[in-house]
């Protein structure tokens, strides 16, 4: 996969990978990266949909390069596709290695969220969440 030079989207989450997030081989566990991406996508979706959303699907996920303990992990989110009650977003993860200033794209994926009302039922992404 070719390496682009700049992230696409807006920064929605920035954190650091800790030893507790590693797999038995010492690299960062893919499930930890995926959960950071889901959090970042959900922050974007909640704002766009004016209230609560739930994750309904992960349509694609590519692990491009490993994440290491100590990396600063940044999740960038952009709109991918809007439906009636659902919204798909692209999440790119870029890592800044410890003792380095250069960032590298490590992961990307498409996450889909559904806007829900107070009864957890789908609502238009353009409506405001109403507690029922």
Ligand X SMILES: CC(C)(COP(=O)(O)OP(=O)(O)OC[C@H]1O[C@@H](n2cnc3c(N)ncnc32)[C@H](O)[C@@H]1OP(=O)(O)O)[C@@H](O)C(=O)NCCC(=O)NCCS
Residue numbers of the site for ligand X (CB under 6 A)?
A: 54-57, 83-86, 112, 114, 116, 120, 122
Pick between residue 6 and residue 132 the one whose CB is nearest to ligand X: 132
Q: Could you tell me the smallest distance in angstroms from the CB atom of residue 87 to ligand X?
A: 8
Pick between residue 58 and residue 69 the one whose CB is nearest to ligand X: 58
Bridge-partner residues for 105, per DSSP? Answer: 94
CA distances from 4 to 24, 66, 92, 104, 105 (A): 30, 16, 11, 9, 8
Name the residue whose CB lies closest to ligand X.
83
Q: Could you tell me the smallest distance in angstroms from the CB atom of residue 48 to ligand X?
A: 13
Cα 38 to its chain centre, rounded Å, is: 4
Q: Could you tell me the smallest distance in angstroms from the CB atom of residue 131 to ligand X?
A: 16
Pick between residue 13 and residue 106 the one whose CB is nearest to ligand X: 13
Q: Could you tell me the smallest distance in angstroms from the CB atom of residue 50 to ligand X?
A: 15
Pick between residue 95 and residue 125 the one whose CB is nearest to ligand X: 125
Pick between residue 105 and residue 123 the one whose CB is nearest to ligand X: 123
CB 92 within 8 A of CB 108: yes
Q: Which two three-digit tokens encode residue 110?
A: 């498409």
Q: Could you tell me the smallest distance in angstroms from the CB atom of residue 72 to ligand X?
A: 26
CA-CA distance, 27 to 63, in Å (whole number)? 13
Parallel, antiparallel, or unpaired: how do β-strands 86-96 and 72-82 relate? antiparallel
CB 112 within 8 A of CB 125: no
């Amino acid at each position: 996969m070719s390496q682009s030079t700049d992230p696409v989207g807006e920064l929605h989450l920035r954190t650091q990978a800790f030893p507790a997030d590693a797999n038995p081989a010492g690299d960062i566990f893919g499930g930890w990266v995926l959960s950071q991406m889901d959090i970042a996508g959900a922050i974007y979706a909640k704002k766009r949909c004016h209230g609560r959303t739930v994750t309904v699907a992960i349509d694609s996920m590519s692990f491009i390069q490993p994440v290491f303990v100590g990396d600063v992990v940044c999740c960038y989110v952009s709109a991918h596709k809007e439906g009636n009650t659902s919204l798909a977003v692209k999440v790119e993860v870029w890592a800044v290695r410890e003792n380095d200033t250069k960032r590298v794209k490590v992961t990307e994926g498409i996450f889909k969220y559904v806007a829900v009302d107070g009864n957890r039922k789908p609502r238009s992404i353009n409506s405001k969440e109403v507690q029922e």
